[in-house]
Structure 1
Amino acid sequence: MKDDKWKTLVVILVGSFMTTLDINIVNVALPKMAASLYVDLGTIQWVVTSYLLVISTLVLMFGRLADIKGKRIIYQNGFLVFSVGSLLCALSKTMYFLIGARLIQGLGASMMMACNFGIITMIFPLKERGRATGILGTVVAIGTMAGPPLGGFLVGNFSWQSIFLINIPIGVCAYLAGVKLLPHDKILDSNKNFDFKGMITFVISVLALFLSLLNGEAFGWRSIPILIGFLLFIVSFITFCIIEINTEVPMLDFRLFKNKFFSAGILCAFISYCVIYFTNIIQPFYLQHILSFSPQKAGFIMMVYPVTAAIMAPISGVLCDKIGYRIPTFVGLAFTCIGIFTMSYLKLDSSYLAIMISMTILGCGYGLFQSPNNAGVMSSVPKDKLGISGSMNSLIRNLGMTSGISISVAIFYSYMGGKLGSHVSALSSGNPELFVTSMSLTYKVGSVIAIAGIIVAFMRLLRKTELEE
């Protein structure tokens, strides 16, 4: 039985690696896709956006379905749906067909993302859970790290279709392995109905929020479409909350948030992802356009962060098993704050070493925080809520990433536009001094947000859970 749980973990790791890899591997192929399908780069970005939108809107639904129907059947069939979507992506001849195929691929990814933490929590005892989630964190970091170079190799030597074709044999083999290895979970919610009203209002609210955040800078934050989008989000989310509170069997049980450890963990996760993704858009432009690094050199520096995170994740998992999750999460958020703060002092003449040190600190923060926090969140809920709790983790990750990118770019543009006296909507190297000043302010705001997370983690540190007593 001991060997079986580790074999099962391998199946979970394969799914997590595939779904994370496909968020990043596509980026490097976008120019070739655009040329092949005769669309501009602005249009081809929907290949990335559509995938993330489906995951964000449906992951909570599949988490709830996993609690009703079983995590095994949802996760296992996620491999098949993902593989079918990958095949259709490779066969795409038009932009609309490709986006449709990416929607199917995102459907399969959301099925797997909704269940991975739940299955790990189900099969691993508390004393080994941190180690298992630490390994999962390493694989996620490797998937993030491997996406661009692997995509570049495949596109350079074959075609853009190859980045989707490699998923098919892996997905099919993982599905067959899952048939044998995934556990038959005891379904505690099998007689309960699914909350369709809650699902519809939730999907509308998330779509409205994400589309508004993703397009706010392009349309203008005060433009009519963006304001309508945010208004639609507010109305639909309030409606969702009312439905959930008054439904006998809600899709999202708000009683979970009465658990202070669950709520604190979810809030800390959002802050962590939000702060880390402050660097996602600005840093590549700083390295290539301001410091005039080659794409290869810039890519090497950017890899420091995921490599450090991949090294630290299993270490933090072992620490979590030995001393609990509260101290590692607090220290991890502290490192995140220090990392983004040191990056705010990068200048026009910053050394190669200074940049790498600041990104190493940021990577340490991510690696130390994520695995223990995930273990803490999943350990704080009853077994019949593992599916919905795991999907909440995935949803918060996507929301944090999207919010981090949107907030950082909005701060950057607003400050630069204020200094220039005109609207700015593109990251330009025309004024290097102003670029660096705007970047510094943006990263300092990120460090302030991180401090809020540190405070929440510290308050959780002072309290004891029943499991740790």
Structure 2
Amino acid sequence: MKRDIAAPTEPNVEGSERTRSVRLGLASLSLSILLSALGTSIANVGLPTLAHAFEASFQDVQWVVLAYLLAITALIVGVGRLGDIVGRRRLLLGGIALFTVASSLSGLAPALWLLIAARAAQGLGAAIMMALTMAFVAETVPTARTGSAMGLLGTMSAIGTALGPSLGGALIAGFGWPALFLINVPLGILTYVLAHRHLPADSQGTARAPARFDVPGTIVLALTLAAYALAMTIGRGHFGPLNIVLLLAAALGGGLFVFVETKVASPLARLAMFRDPALSASLITNGLVSTVMMTTLVVGPFYLARALGLDAAIIGLVMSVGPVVAAISGVPAGRFVDWFGARPVMMAGLAAIAAGAAPLSILPATLAIPGYLAPIAVVTAGYAFFQAANNTAVMAGIAADRRGVVSGMLNLSRNLGLVTGASVMGAVFALASAASDIATASPEAVASGMRVTFAVAAGLILLAIAVALAGRALAARPALPDDTL
């Protein structure tokens, strides 16, 4: 009789403990995304203070931000593949540790060049964290909750992006610029402890054959991506000879990368995977959507300041609405993915972004702040739904031994979209405003630039919808052999 009573309770206790471990493991992944996003956004607000502290020019201190961005962009695919080979848990723990140590070194740096070097190391840690968190979802949460988990990660990314400027300003005012980086240390330690205790152990022998790391391909791709990112960021949207040379170098590097990948035994990225129309469409769409989202962050402050005449405090408050909406929408978006499937939710998200981007070219000029806030809320909610659905759709069909590299590519397409949006769409805004200096342009010129820029942005989303539909149609054909992924 005692056995009959005791037997049912043991699985319940075990199941409860497993559920708790899953939640804490997901918490570690969420913190990883939060810290990497915070590392990007929190440093920007400190550039004027850093320029004064180190007696340096703005161009010099700008490398505090660029070093972090370049490290992530150049290395995220390589570290994703490395995780597939050496073990994702092991590498993620190393990335969290590196990010935490580099954060402390950044806060204690006595010279600007040491700060920049520490930020590059911090960017490497962030690249590992970003590349492997999505790859870990399939191993951490049940399949039925994958969408919710992806939505949560999107929420944490939005919170990190939104929290950075305000938290950074408060830390500088209260403790000085080192606090911008030292705040990551206790959070990094907490993330490491949770990940170490609750993330599942690396599977042994998941690859079909022993794989070697593609060093030549990784180096070529890293240099190619660094050249492109530099071309898009140097000069703040004003293209000169150096930008053109860097773009040409990136184009040549892309061709060289394709050639290298056809020659190595264990390529970083199997080129056959890009024959999968669903994967290719998702990566292209992700880049286009990220370009438009960065446009709202680049163009918005100039429009609010110059065309609507708002002061800095009100601008900060208005600009915070978008990330807050994205953060609130992330978890519900993930649940919708679990309930209705990734593809319908992704198309709904794209439709919402298009429905918000088009009015942004018209409404703010007639309705002022409400005319800006309403479309922005629609755009950012649509972005949250798109991200949760697109990430789920991409990662669901990937073989276990390729999840790291594909997750890295997904993050890379987003980063390239952000870089392109900041530079190309910023240049479109400046050109449409017909002003030599946007900071001193007339309200009418800025309003004109706003209309043209978001008309172009709406066109990019329509292109993204067309790409997604085409990819979905082509994916309905017979699938590629499983080993191409």
**TM-score, normalized by length of structure 2?**
0.91
Instruction: Work out which of the two has the higher radius of gyration on C-alpha atoms and give 1 or 2.
Output: 2
Q: CA deviation at 1:9?
A: 0.4
CA shift in 2, pair 1:461/1:251, >3 Å: closer
Are 1:172 and 2:189 counterparts? yes
Tell me if the contact between 2:140 and 2:199 (Cα under 8 Å) persists in the aligned partners.
no
Distance 1:283 1:149, change over 3 A: same
1:33 aligns with 2:53: no
2:306–2:441 contact (8 Å) kept in structure 1: no
Give the Cα separation in 1 of the matches to 2:308 and 2:383.
Answer: 26
Q: Quote the sequence identity (%).
A: 30
After TM superposition, give the deviation of residue 461 of structure 1 in Å: 5.2
Quote the Cα distance in structure 1 between the aligned partners of 2:418 and 2:441: 28
Question: 1:205 maps to what in 2?
Answer: 224
Q: 5+ residue gaps in structure 1? A: none
SS in 2 for 1:115: helix
Which residue number in structure 2 is paired with residue 113 of structure 1? 130
Q: 1:430 to 1:230 in 2, by over 3 A?
A: closer
How far did 1:351 drift? 2.5
Q: Would you say 1:73 and 2:84 are equivalent positions?
A: no
Question: Which one of 115, 131, 137 corresponds to residue 98 of structure 1?
Answer: 115
Matched, 1:148 2:165: yes
Where does the alignment leave 5 or more consecutive residues of structure 2 unmatched? 1-17, 480-485
**2:351 equivalent among 334, 337, 358:** 334
Q: Which moved more, 1:188-197 or 1:400-409?
A: 188-197
Query: SS where residue 441 of structure 1 aligns?
Result: helix
Q: Find the residue that maps to 2:262 and give its secondary structure.
A: helix
Q: How many residues align?
A: 459
How far apart, CA to CA, are the structure 2 residues paired with 1:196 and 1:406? 30
Aligned 8 A contact 2:308 2:368 in 1? no
Matching of residue 45 in structure 1 with residue 56 in structure 2: no
Equivalences for residues 4-403 of structure 1 within 5 A: 4-187=21-204, 188-189=206-207, 191-215=210-234, 217=236, 220-221=238-239, 223-348=240-365, 350-403=367-420
Deviations 1:95-148 (A, max 9, x none): 111101101111111111110000012222331100111111111111111111
Q: Distance in 1 between matches of 2:133 and 2:83?
A: 11
The alignment partner of 1:183 has SS state of coil
* Aligned ranges 1:408-423 → 2 under 5 Å: 408-417=425-434
Per-residue deviation at 1:152? Answer: 1.1
Question: Does the 8 Å CA contact 2:364/2:371 hold for their aligned counterparts?
Answer: no
SS of alignment partner, residue 381 of structure 1: coil
Say yes or no: does 1:2 pair with 2:26: no
CA drift at 1:4: 1.9
- Which whole-Å CA distance do the structure 2 matches of 1:320 and 1:430 have between them? 44
- Offset at residue 459 of structure 1 (A): 3.6
- One-letter amino acid of the structure 2 residue matched with residue 311 of structure 1: I
Change (3 A) 1:356 1:156: same
The DSSP-based 3-state class of the residue aligned with 1:17 is helix
Deviates most, 408-417 or 69-78 = 408-417
- Give the secondary structure class of the aligned counterpart of 1:120: helix
Deviation for aligned residue 1:289: 2.7
Asked whether the equivalents of residues 302 and 446 of structure 2 are also in contact (C-alpha less than 8 Å), the reply is: no
- Deviation of residue 176 (structure 1)? 2.2
1:41 positional shift: 2.0
Moved more, 171-180 or 344-353: 344-353
Could you tell me how far apart the structure 1 residues matched to 2:351 and 2:167 are?
Answer: 32
Matched letter for residue 280 of structure 1:
L
CA deviations on 1:322-370 (whole Å, 9 max, x unpaired) are 1110011111111111212111114555322221101101111111110
Q: Deviations over 1:370-407 (max 9, x none)?
A: 01110100012111110101111111111010011111
